[in-house]
């Protein structure tokens, strides 16, 4: 190990050794910790079990039908035929008729044209 040659470097070296010795001492044990009580949910917020989707799966001869409900409201039906691609039946505004879609993608595409640039 090479020792410092200037008095200022020697002072920094001594300070470095003293700091290392102070850090080498074992830390005192932490105080005895107790678990916090359970925090109640804020008022007016639905429980997580109400927000989870409820899925009913019906297996028929040639297809599998999955009804997905959230909060008791029918959101969509996924139909998976034995041969072919699955499709979705989504209720319209009044909930009486269903619209068939090949995916849950809303199909909204926002144009990203550059009108001006500097």
CA distances from 85 to 66, 99, 103 (A): 14, 16, 10
Q: What's the pLDDT score for residue 89?
A: 92
Where residue 64 sits, what CATH number does that domain have?
2.20.130.30
| 112 is a domain residue | no
* 67 found inside a domain: yes
In a domain, 43, yes or no: no
**50 vs 58, which has greater pLDDT?**
58
Decide if pLDDT at 95 tops 90: no
Residue 18 resides in a domain: no
47: confidence class by pLDDT, cuts 50, 70, 90: low
Total structural domains in the chain? 1
Q: What is the mean pLDDT of the chain?
A: 81
Residue 11 covered by a domain: no
Q: What is the span of the domain harbouring residue 80? A: 48-101
Q: Over 72-83, what HEC string results?
A: CEEEEEEEEECC
Report yes or no on 75 lying in a domain. yes
pTM reported for the whole predicted model: 0.50
Instruction: Answer yes or no: is 60 within a domain.
Output: yes
Q: What is the pLDDT of residue 21?
A: 61
């Amino acid at each position: 190990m090479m020792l410092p040659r200037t008095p200022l470097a020697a002072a920094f070296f001594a300070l470095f050794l003293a700091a290392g010795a102070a850090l080498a001492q074992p830390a005192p044990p932490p105080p005895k910790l107790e678990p916090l009580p359970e925090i109640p949910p804020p008022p007016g917020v639905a429980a997580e079990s109400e927000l989870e989707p409820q899925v009913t799966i019906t297996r028929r001869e040639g297809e599998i039908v999955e009804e997905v409900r959230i909060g008791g409201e029918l959101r969509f039906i996924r139909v998976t035929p034995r041969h072919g691609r699955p499709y979705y039946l989504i209720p319209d505004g009044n909930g009486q008729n269903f619209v068939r879609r090949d995916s849950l993608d809303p199909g909204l595409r926002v144009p990203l044209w550059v009108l001006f640039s500097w």
